[in-house]
Amino acid sequence: MRRRVTLAALIENIGHQYDIKWLSGEIGRNTPLIGDMPGDELHKLVGPLNSIQPNRIQIIGRTELTFLHALSREQYQDTLDRLFEGKPAAILFSSDLTPAIEFFDRARDHEIALLGSPLSEGVLISNLRYHLSHALAESVTVHGVMMEVLGRGVLLTGKPGIGKSELALDLISRGHRLISDDAPILTQVNPDILNSSCPYVLQDFLEVRGLGILNIREMFGDSAVRPKKNLHLNVHLEEMTGSQLANVDRIQGSNSEVEILRVQVSKVVVPVAPGRNMAILVETAVRQYMLRQRGYDSAAAFIQQQKKVMVSNS
């Protein structure tokens, strides 16, 4: 689902980075930064005065104020009326500019926040677009354990009790890093990229049956956890019967893709059985994924080698 973020929440999270201040008190703090109109685009949520959009943070810089002051009194008032009647989420003045009293009067009448920052118009537009694209991107919470293995984001999935957390603990002890246990959040930050993160209440913790809740950061150090990682591979753990194992393609393996938020993610099914070193198997699955990304297919190379032997012996 697409997140709904209020103006106040955005300013609370990033306002200190750009020294954004509230100029109009409590007005407009709870305004949502994405509307219900069909076809809303994230990149339209921040922009200059020459393109007024509903639910947008309108930026006013020195160029805009110079333009406004050059207008006749009637044109000036008409332009301000159109600006506020366009229902922007907020009006942000760059370069420490001070709004005229007419802005405050209309802000109060239309319940639209006025904001200020010492940064330039260009810096504010580019940076706010970046933050909004992440804050408002579509996301989903999945059941599994999210890890960074060999520099790649790996989502471990499988039915409850199959051993995901124990496998994650084994991987952590081998130098890999935990992103999130149990409920990682996947966010579509680009058309073909999913970024994973951990809910605040679960950060640094891993539940292992029999041991309870473990604080991975305290046990293994800061390098054992990280806050975010793009998802590259889904390793699905599955218990299989003898007949199911017999049906697994011994050359190609159980490689496929899974669709998450309309993004195709590489997936490999790894059978779970007593005596199998699952951590090594996950590491190998990641290495195999990396080879395929570089264009090398072990199965295809094996088949080609067999053909050469058959031809040479014929």
- Active-site residues, by number, are 143, 164, 182, 250
| Contact between residue 163 and residue 235 where contact means Cβ atoms under 8 Å apart | no
- Tell the residue number behind the tokens 């539940």, with chain if given: 207
Q: Where in 102-199 does DSSP place strands (E)?
A: 113-116, 139-141, 145-149, 152-157, 177-180, 185-190, 193-197
Q: Which of 131, 130, 146, 187 is nearest to 3 (CA)?
A: 187
CA distance 59 to 124: 8
| Backbone dihedral angles phi then psi of residue 34, each to the nearest 5 degrees | -145, 135
| Contact between residue 197 and residue 187 where contact means Cβ atoms under 8 Å apart | yes
Q: Which residues contact 88 (CB under 8 A, 6 or more apart)?
A: 52, 53, 54, 55, 56, 57, 58, 112
